[in-house]
A and B are shown apart, each in its own frame.
Chain A
């Protein structure tokens, strides 16, 4: 029986997203739907989020108008699909400092947050460079530094320096340096609690955008293909992908790309009234299905 119930919850989407950003190379393969989502874990007396989403009231219209981010819904509404409120969230694991993963730092009033030290340090460094280097800052929102500082003053921002085992029972953090971002991390959940677990889930952050990053596009000749947007190296992305796959014993579907539109078809899922998806990966003992 699983220690944690695990869901992936959509909160917005970009309906027309170029495939070449998700997967390096296929420049003329058109567009895909790119969901914005976070993961919810419940178990061991904890309610855990992997990433926060962003706060639409700050930038929503700006993003919608310029880049087509649509159908945003706040965490009150999204988490309610699993019977959780933002105030119930006890821990948040931030995979990287981009706005769509970290921009909701102020939306979970009782949570403690975890982020890699390298992510913060290198982000701040990149911001010292001139505007001609702005690619290196990526989608980071400087306002999130203030939010993080506020949390640190309250003792709710934990900076992790490298890999960390059992940051919570059965949950490990892994630094993926110089990949999608300078200090990205991916999260492994050993959902049976065992050291050599047979029930591992990996939350990849944006080190992969799609399962195709783990398989390539040719079923008969699989390969690792990096994403098309990174400040780090393609080599690091490929080796990070290999490490994540190794953690699941090679089971591709257990390495979760949070922006993968096909999660809803790969696992039991349900479409909500708001036209978002609840995807159910695992259920802990006593937990009712949220997609049945």
Chain B
């Protein structure tokens, strides 16, 4: 797949905020998972929420500086929707009026759908990095062009 220069620049720039969105989704999902599977009456660990909030803040800052050329408008829209959904999830956790689990999980599912859509639009936005997987340890034999040179 070949891109025009503006589109190629967009794809390169969008990877970092995409990574932050993935990280936020994982953290928020983990927060709920721990809450659901932890001991009743135990302390709630808000660490993942803090981590997600930091990732979303960083993502929002980066998105402000990324322009989307015409061919990337659809892709960018999914990024924005995922970002907004995850910000909504954080605000649900931090709301003073009790934790609305259904609304929280609904926001996560919305973000998940849009992040998956990104991958289907443009390669390189896979939701998972398998480069560290057991089966990937021979990846450089399969793809020698990917080998890094020593600095």
Contact = CB atoms under 8 A, between A and B. Distances in A.
Interface of A: 14, 16-18, 21, 31, 34, 59, 62-63, 66-69, 98-100, 117, 120-121, 124, 127-128, 131, 134-135, 137-143, 145-146, 148-149, 152-153, 157-159, 206, 209, 228-229
Given A98-B133, A153-B105, A141 B142 contact: no
Given A127-B27, A158-B37, A159-B37, A18 B138 contact: yes
A152 B36 contact: yes
B5 to A, nearest CB: 25
Given A67-B138, A146-B25, A139 B132 contact: yes
B130 A63 contact: yes
A127 B128 CA distance: 11
A229 B137 contact: yes
B103 interface: no
B33 A145 contact: yes
B13 interface: no
Contacts of B73: none
A146 B141 CA distance: 33
24 contacts: A17-B135, A21-B137, A59-B128, A59-B130, A66-B136, A67-B130, A67-B136, A68-B135, A68-B142, A69-B135, A98-B134, A100-B134, A100-B135, A124-B48, A134-B132, A140-B128, A142-B128, A143-B128, A146-B29, A148-B29, A149-B33, A152-B37, A157-B37, A229-B137
B29 to A, nearest CB: 4
B130 A139 contact: yes
B23 to A, nearest CB: 6
B112 interface: yes
B107 to A, nearest CB: 12
Contacts of A18: 137-138, 141
A189 to B, nearest CB: 24
Given A98-B133, A159-B37, A149 B127 contact: no
Interface residues of B, dominant DSSP: helix
B135 A145 contact: no
Contacts of A135: 132
Interface in B54-78: none
B138 A66 contact: no
Contact of B26 (A21, A68, A127): A127
A-B residue pairs, 8 tightest by C-beta: A139-B133, A152-B36, A159-B37, A124-B30, A142-B26, A141-B128, A149-B33, A145-B29
A67 B126 CA distance: 15
A142 B25 contact: yes
Contacts of B81: none
Interface centre among B25, B34, B127, B128 (most CB of A within 10 A): B128
B95 to A, nearest CB: 19
